[in-house]
Chain A
Amino acid sequence: MDFFVQQIAAGLTSGAIYACVALGLVMIYVSTDHINFAQGEMAMFATYLAWAMIDAGLPYWVAFGLTVAIAFGGGLFIQRVVLKPLENAPVLALVVCFIALLSIFNALAGMIWSYTIKQFPSPFPARDIFGNGLVSVQQLGVVAVTLIMLGALTVFFRYTTLGLAMRAAAQNATSARLMGVRVSWMLALGWGLAAAIGAIAGMLVAPIVFLDPNMMTGILVYGFAGALVGGIGNPMGAVAGGFIVGVLENLVGSYVIGNELKLTFALIVVIGVLLLKPAGIFGRVIVKRV
């Protein structure tokens, strides 16, 4: 029983990591209709920036705040400068763009900071909650911050004018424009927010998995799975999906099929959920208008 509980706890920790990443993915999807394959690498790069700042002597929270701001600006910049000219290109050209960004960020991080793993400090003390090694403050902290971000985003989208404007711009750009929404800036804002969320996710994750340029590659897959499972158009769904995927991954790996088929399991989950409930568990089904 103890083992089972521990695996769930470990699953919730990984799940929190996936949920964080999934949030960023959802952000971009909701505001721009794109799947940003470079999300992981952008988050990793931002985390390295934070590390460099801390290494240079800045206090943790200053570095944290600065990184989030830089990431936000960077996301905005990428959307305005790199992606906007390609608005009329075929969708696949955009996918190629994301992959190009992915390669660039990954390679640059490796060049500047090398591939040796680095320690990233955590704002949470390295203590136990229950004293039996089950849950650490670090793990709870990650969960808490994820939920806070989720809450903030939900409030933003549902109750603020700006959030409403962003959703409008994504769902029906023409009508939104007629209502006075500056659609292109909404897209840029979406990217900025997504990049900022990614940076936070990276900084939460790095103390656990250690910082290295390939840190996010594996996490991204499970993050995608989580977002799909929960409903990619829905922040709450994505977060829930992330947790579900984390826990399931650990339980199935420990009890059912062993660790050697975890990715195949993720694949089956993805396809299974999409077949049975394509909008995800919490998403809303969009019926096609003819």
Chain B
Amino acid sequence: MRMNRRTALLGAATMGLAGGARRVRAASKYSPGVTDTEIKIGQTMPYSGNASAYGVAGRTQAAFFRMINDQGGINGRKINFISLDDGYSPPKTVELTRQLVERDQVLLMFYSLGTQTNTAIHKYMNQKKVPQLFVATGASKWGNPKAFPWTMGWSPDYHTEGAIHARAILSALPDAKIGILRQNDDMGNDYLDGIKEGLGPDGWKRVVADVTYEVTDPTVDSQILQIRNAGATAFLNVTTPKFAAQAIKKAAEIGWKPKHHLMSVSASVGAVLRPAGFENAQGIVTAQYVKDVSDPGWADAPDYKTWKSFMDTWNPTINPFEGSSVTGYASAITLVHVLKQCGDELTRENVMKQAASMHQLEIPMLLPGIKLNTSPTDFYPIQSVRLARFETDHWVLFGELQSRDVA
């Protein structure tokens, strides 16, 4: 609260001093990337290659920042958002990040995508003391303020979600025989770690099939058959959208109806369930933390309407059903909040400090009840999800808020 008032006063004072654009404002402190009129923000995203579907987040954020600039910017400063294509290749990420940090002198890196790609620059960012803020990956290793004080994640991590699913299966079906289908990459591995934790050593014995696939595989039909053949009565579907849809369709085709748990990365009604066939998806359970925009249930919510009008006006070329556009939007709002909280003290240290001081922060498009919390020892902003079950043509939330606390 104090920060806001001080910022407001400073802002008013600055406005009063018309035409002083070039002068450094009184009581302002800047890190590289900030001037009186501009904040430079860097990002690397896969706009090409296998992971290009996630590039939607970057484009949505670019559009969002354009809108913010149009509305006057943050405390009078416009955002200069530089998002570069790393094609999901770690060496490229290193090169582009160094370019953004050393040549373009950005204030911070925001929402760079990918586990391997972020791993490649993890040490570098912390050595250079540049915020690696709100990394776009669900890996659980980003919340480690002791060793890496400049890195912070944003979305609930895969590990947490995996554990929640595992526990939910065990409580609903204590004698389940569990089958897992997962992508052979960090995401899959992280979910697996969470599932193992959630099941515990006894629960793990109930796993009858742990089957992987590659992104280059044309179908996962063979894998589904393997899992069914192992006798699984519960199914953990840890896949990306295309393969999730294939898995759901194939399971229905062979008449296999396990207790089906789908990970949040592939739970979009429009992007996954409709192609797979609603009739095949009845009863599937997922964990969510943002509102599914292809779900008609949210059409009357005020934050949905704001989001929709933003998309229509500023981001019309992006298919609104892409889940990444919502997470991109929500994370961008989070960043704007943090930057606003910095006021005129736009130093890298202060950015991290503000990011680590979010308390019960509500962000539009997050599910009701889910709030952001951080502290100097807790670098996991969102740690809650809610379970939902698919009925007819939309997700129905059920149960309590599921969380995982980190000390």
Q: How far is the CA of A260 from the CA of B226 in the complex (A)?
A: 14
Across the interface, B217 reaches (CB within 8 A) one of A13, A212, A218, namely A218
CB neighbours (8 Å) of A218 from chain B are 214-218
A214 at the interface (CB under 8 A from B): yes
A174 at the interface (CB under 8 A from B): no
Across the interface, B218 reaches (CB within 8 A) one of A6, A209, A253, namely A209
CB neighbours (8 Å) of B184 from chain A are 259-260
Q: B54 — nearest CB in chain A belongs to which residue?
A: A115
Asked if B322 and A209 sit within 8 Å, CB to CB, the answer is no
Across the interface, B56 reaches (CB within 8 A) one of A115, A133, A259, namely A115
A110 at the interface (CB under 8 A from B): yes
Asked if B212 and A260 sit within 8 Å, CB to CB, the answer is yes
B222 at the interface (CB under 8 A from A): yes
CB neighbours (8 Å) of A212 from chain B are 53, 242
Asked if A219 and B56 sit within 8 Å, CB to CB, the answer is no
Among B53, B184, B214, residue most surrounded by chain A Cβ atoms (within 10 Å): B53
Count contacts on B: residues with CB < 8 A to the other chain. Answer: 39
CB neighbours (8 Å) of B50 from chain A are 214, 217
How would residues 241 to 282 of chain B score, 1 for a CB under 8 Å from any chain A CB and 0 otherwise?
Answer: 110011000000111100000000000001110110000000
Asked if B229 and A3 sit within 8 Å, CB to CB, the answer is yes
CB neighbours (8 Å) of A17 from chain B are 218
Q: How far is the CA of A258 from the CA of B253 in the complex (A)?
A: 23
B321 at the interface (CB under 8 A from A): yes
Known: A133-B254, A212-B242. A13 touches B48 (CB 8 A): no
CB neighbours (8 Å) of B219 from chain A are 10, 13-14, 208-209
Among B56, B216, B222, residue most surrounded by chain A Cβ atoms (within 10 Å): B222
Q: B49 — nearest CB in chain A belongs to which residue?
A: A214
Asked if B241 and A221 sit within 8 Å, CB to CB, the answer is no
Across the interface, B225 reaches (CB within 8 A) one of A10, A115, A136, A209, namely A10
Known: A212-B242, A259-B223. A114 touches B217 (CB 8 A): no
B24 at the interface (CB under 8 A from A): no
Q: B216 — nearest CB in chain A belongs to which residue?
A: A218
Q: How far is the CA of A259 from the CA of B212 in the complex (A)?
A: 6
How would residues 204 to 218 of chain B score, 1 for a CB under 8 Å from any chain A CB and 0 otherwise?
Answer: 000000011111111
Asked if B241 and A117 sit within 8 Å, CB to CB, the answer is yes
CB neighbours (8 Å) of A221 from chain B are 216
Q: A107 — nearest CB in chain B belongs to which residue?
A: B48
B52 at the interface (CB under 8 A from A): yes
Asked if B225 and A110 sit within 8 Å, CB to CB, the answer is no
Asked if B271 and A254 sit within 8 Å, CB to CB, the answer is no
B319 at the interface (CB under 8 A from A): yes
Q: B254 — nearest CB in chain A belongs to which residue?
A: A133
Asked if A116 and B222 sit within 8 Å, CB to CB, the answer is no
CB neighbours (8 Å) of A116 from chain B are 53, 241, 270-271, 319, 321-322
Q: How far is the CA of A7 from the CA of B225 in the complex (A)?
A: 7
Q: A211 — nearest CB in chain B belongs to which residue?
A: B275
Would you list which residues of chain B between 163 and 200 have a CB under 8 Å from chain A? 184
A210 at the interface (CB under 8 A from B): yes
B299 at the interface (CB under 8 A from A): no
A171 at the interface (CB under 8 A from B): no
How would residues 105 to 129 of chain A score, 1 for a CB under 8 Å from any chain B CB and 0 otherwise?
Answer: 0010010001111110000000000
**Smallest CB–CB gap between B70 and chain A, Å?**
25
CB neighbours (8 Å) of B56 from chain A are 114-115
Asked if B211 and A217 sit within 8 Å, CB to CB, the answer is no
Q: A223 — nearest CB in chain B belongs to which residue?
A: B218
Q: How far is the CA of A26 from the CA of B217 in the complex (A)?
A: 22
Q: B225 — nearest CB in chain A belongs to which residue?
A: A6
Across the interface, A10 reaches (CB within 8 A) one of B211, B214, B221, B256, namely B221
Known: A119-B274, A260-B184. A14 touches B221 (CB 8 A): yes
Q: How far is the CA of A240 from the CA of B242 in the complex (A)?
A: 28
Q: A21 — nearest CB in chain B belongs to which residue?
A: B218
CB neighbours (8 Å) of A213 from chain B are 52
Q: How far is the CA of A222 from the CA of B218 in the complex (A)?
A: 9
**Smallest CB–CB gap between B51 and chain A, Å?**
9
Asked if A117 and B253 sit within 8 Å, CB to CB, the answer is no
CB neighbours (8 Å) of B8 from chain A are none
Q: How far is the CA of A114 from the CA of B274 in the complex (A)?
A: 16
Would you list which residues of chain A between 93 and 107 have a CB under 8 Å from chain B? 107
CB neighbours (8 Å) of A7 from chain B are 222, 225
How would residues 82 to 99 of chain B score, 1 for a CB under 8 Å from any chain A CB and 0 otherwise?
Answer: 000000000000000000
B318 at the interface (CB under 8 A from A): yes
Asked if A254 and B217 sit within 8 Å, CB to CB, the answer is no
CB neighbours (8 Å) of B223 from chain A are 259
A11 at the interface (CB under 8 A from B): yes
A144 at the interface (CB under 8 A from B): no
Asked if B52 and A14 sit within 8 Å, CB to CB, the answer is no
Asked if B216 and A117 sit within 8 Å, CB to CB, the answer is no
Q: How far is the CA of A145 from the CA of B233 in the complex (A)?
A: 36
**Smallest CB–CB gap between B287 and chain A, Å?**
21
CB neighbours (8 Å) of A13 from chain B are 219, 221
Across the interface, B242 reaches (CB within 8 A) one of A6, A117, A133, A249, namely A117
CB neighbours (8 Å) of B241 from chain A are 116-117
**Smallest CB–CB gap between B180 and chain A, Å?**
12
CB neighbours (8 Å) of A36 from chain B are none
Would you list which residues of chain B between 295 and 334 have a CB under 8 Å from chain A? 318-319, 321-322
Q: A10-B225, A116-B241 are in contact. List 15 more A-B contacts (CB 8 A).
A: A7-B225, A10-B221, A13-B219, A115-B322, A116-B322, A117-B245, A117-B271, A119-B275, A133-B256, A218-B214, A218-B215, A219-B218, A254-B225, A254-B226, A260-B184
- CB pairs A–B below 8 angstroms (24 shown): A14-B219, A110-B52, A115-B52, A116-B271, A116-B319, A116-B322, A117-B245, A205-B218, A208-B246, A209-B242, A209-B246, A210-B245, A210-B246, A213-B52, A217-B216, A218-B214, A222-B218, A254-B225, A254-B226, A259-B184, A259-B213, A259-B222, A262-B217, A263-B216
State the 4 A-B residue pairs at the shortest beta-carbon distance, nearest first: A218-B216, A115-B53, A133-B254, A119-B275
